[in-house]
């Protein structure tokens, strides 16, 4: 299933080299000002083009298929589509016999008995995140003054990101990174103690983003090395403000009114320019292999806006679910 959310429901569809990719957003209240131009800044942030990103650039112009009338949401489902334009499908014909390490080629072929659209990763492509970003813009509007800011804080293990990219280009090998995210102005009380904890709901959507391999809230993994008296955040006033924020703004799965903070681990782009070894199902041997196609050396550069979108989608659903 390709749908998330109970009261703010997002479904994505499309394949990397198909006709369109897109998204349907259901449950968005009527009367929210929304025009195609509103989507462009976030779509631009996701786009390739900078140093370290793929030369495949798409115009990424959104078209509203439904749900918008006179510049406002109507209360009906909003469907937004993006044409796939800059496609070179010939690049991918070899995937059938030589599944690319780190990619979903092998698993999708097994799962769908060979019927999957293998070109460019098909439905598992990062291309699909264009729909997530579009839905994120709508979610951000619903969240109003709640602010979400994600930034790349490390690449290739260092904080000087430009230097990391330069090194990757010099080495001709892909690299990963760490994205930090902070949510401000969130009210107290979103989330549930168990299956819909804020951590559960955010992590669910964030792990939908290709290349994400870890998430930690507040002090996260370092919590495991702290004592309770050091870790606990002292409450200092009637509004629940805490002196520290080791909990990342969440207690018992519920937002406590302080900033929500989390960090996300992004693995290096699977498509490295380096020669790799993989199984060749034609020759029945492990054989050298070079990934074709055009790819990002550091996909993490493009991920922050997608993480913002994922977070906004998760929080908009929690907010619409709890404002009843």
Asked if 31 touches a copy of itself (CB under 8 A), the answer is: yes
Return d(Cα 145, Cα 317) in angstroms, integer: 16
CB of 43 to a copy of itself, least distance (A): 18
Asked if 288 touches a copy of itself (CB under 8 A), the answer is: no
Asked if 54 touches a copy of itself (CB under 8 A), the answer is: no
Structural element, H or E, at residue 259: none
- The residue assigned the tokens 């509203």 is 64
Binding a copy of itself by CB under 8 A: which of 134, 271, 302, 305? 271
Stretch that binds a copy of itself, among 12-20, 37-45, 50-58, 133-141 (CB under 8 A): 12-20
Q: Which is nearer to a copy of itself, 41 or 76 (CB)?
A: 76
Q: Which is nearer to a copy of itself, 41 or 51 (CB)?
A: 51
Asked if 107 touches a copy of itself (CB under 8 A), the answer is: yes
Binding a copy of itself by CB under 8 A: which of 37, 144, 170, 224? 224
- The residue assigned the tokens 């709890």 is 322
Alpha carbon distances (Å) from 151 to 86, 88, 99, 226, 303? 28, 31, 32, 26, 9
Binding a copy of itself by CB under 8 A: which of 91, 94, 106, 141? 106
Asked if 315 touches a copy of itself (CB under 8 A), the answer is: no
| Nearest to 207, CA basis, from 63, 314, 123 | 314
Handedness of CA 23, 21, 136, 215 (dihedral sign): positive
Per-residue binding letters, 130-169, with a copy of itself (x by CB under 8 A): ------------------------xxxx----------x-
Q: Which is nearer to a copy of itself, 41 or 86 (CB)?
A: 86
Asked if 184 touches a copy of itself (CB under 8 A), the answer is: no
Structural element, H or E, at residue 276: strand 276-280
Tokens representing residue 270 in the block? 């699977």
Binding a copy of itself by CB under 8 A: which of 120, 136, 177, 293? 177
Site for a copy of itself in 240-269 (CB under 8 A): 240, 242, 246-248, 251-257, 265-269
Return d(Cα 9, Cα 6) in angstroms, integer: 6
| Nearest to 262, CA basis, from 317, 194, 198, 322 | 198
Binding a copy of itself by CB under 8 A: which of 92, 117, 143, 245? 117
Asked if 115 touches a copy of itself (CB under 8 A), the answer is: yes
Return d(Cα 246, Cα 59) in angstroms, integer: 41
Residue 229 class from Cβ within 10 Å (0-12 exposed, 13-18 middle, 19+ buried)? exposed
User: CB–CB of 272/185 below 8 Å?
Assistant: no
Asked if 77 touches a copy of itself (CB under 8 A), the answer is: yes
Stretch that binds a copy of itself, among 43-51, 54-62, 217-225, 301-309 (CB under 8 A): 217-225
User: CB–CB of 74/138 below 8 Å?
Assistant: no
CB of 185 to a copy of itself, least distance (A): 16
């Amino acid at each position: 299933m390709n749908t998330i959310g109970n009261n703010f429901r997002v479904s994505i569809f499309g394949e990397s080299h198909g006709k369109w990719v897109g998204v349907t957003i259901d449950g968005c209240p009527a009367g929210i000002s929304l025009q195609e131009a509103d989507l462009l800044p976030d779509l631009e942030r996701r786009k390739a083009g900078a140093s370290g990103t793929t030369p495949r650039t798409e115009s990424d112009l959104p078209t509203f298929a439904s749900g918008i009338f006179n510049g406002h949401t109507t209360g009906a489902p909003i469907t937004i589509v993006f044409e796939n334009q800059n496609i070179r499908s010939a690049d991918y014909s070899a995937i059938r016999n030589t599944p690319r390490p780190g990619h979903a080629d092998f698993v999708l072929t097994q799962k769908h008995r060979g019927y999957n659209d293998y070109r460019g990763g098909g439905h598992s492509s990062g291309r699909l995140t264009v729909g997530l970003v579009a839905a994120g813009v709508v979610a951000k509007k619903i969240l109003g003054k709640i602010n979400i800011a994600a930034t790349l804080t490390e690449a290739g293990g260092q904080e000087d990101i430009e230097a990391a990219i330069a090194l990757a280009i010099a080495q001709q090998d892909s690299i990963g990174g760490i994205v930090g995210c902070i949510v401000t102005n969130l009210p107290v009380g979103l989330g549930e103690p168990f299956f819909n904890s804020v951590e559960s709901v955010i992590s669910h959507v964030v792990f939908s983003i290709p290349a994400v391999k870890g998430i930690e809230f507040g002090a996260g993994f370092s919590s495991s090395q702290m004592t309770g008296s050091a870790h606990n955040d002292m409450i200092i006033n009637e509004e629940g403000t805490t002196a520290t924020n080791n909990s990342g703004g969440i207690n018992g799965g519920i937002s406590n009114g302080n900033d929500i903070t989390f960090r996300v681990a992004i693995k290096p782009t699977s498509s490295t320019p380096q020669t790799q070894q993989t199984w060749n199902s034609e020759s029945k041997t492990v054989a050298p292999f070079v990934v074709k196609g055009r790819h990002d050396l550091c996909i993490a550069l493009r991920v922050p806006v997608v993480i913002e979108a994922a977070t906004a989608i998760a929080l908009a659903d929690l907010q619409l679910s709890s404002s009843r």
